[in-house]
Amino acid sequence: MYKVFVNDKPLFLTNEVAKETDFQLFLLESVDIEQVIIKMFQNKIQKAYLYYPDEKAILKKVKEKIPVCKAGGGLVYNKAGDVLFIFRNGKWDLPKGGIEKGEEIEDTATREVEEETGVNNLKITHKLQKTYHVFKRNGKYKLKVTHWFEMRTDFVGTPKPQANEGIEKVAWLNPEQIKEALKNSYENIKLLFEEEKLLK
The model's pLDDT over 101-115, given as tens digits with 9 standing for 90+, comes to 999 999 999 999 999
Q: Which residues contact 153 (CB under 8 A, 6 or more apart)?
A: 76, 77, 78, 119, 120, 121, 122, 123
Average pLDDT over the chain, rounded to an integer: 93
Look up residue 104 and give its amino acid.
Answer: E
Which value, in Å, is the radius of gyration of the alpha carbons in the chain?
A: 18
Give the number of other Cβ atoms within 10 Å of residue 117's Cβ: 27
Residue range(s) of every CATH 3.90.79.10 domain in the chain: 68-195
Which DSSP helix (H) or strand (E) runs through 92? strand 91-93
- Is 68-195 CATH 3.90.79.10? yes
- The tens digit of pLDDT for each residue in 4-48 reads 999 899 999 999 877 666 778 899 999 999 999 999 999 999 999
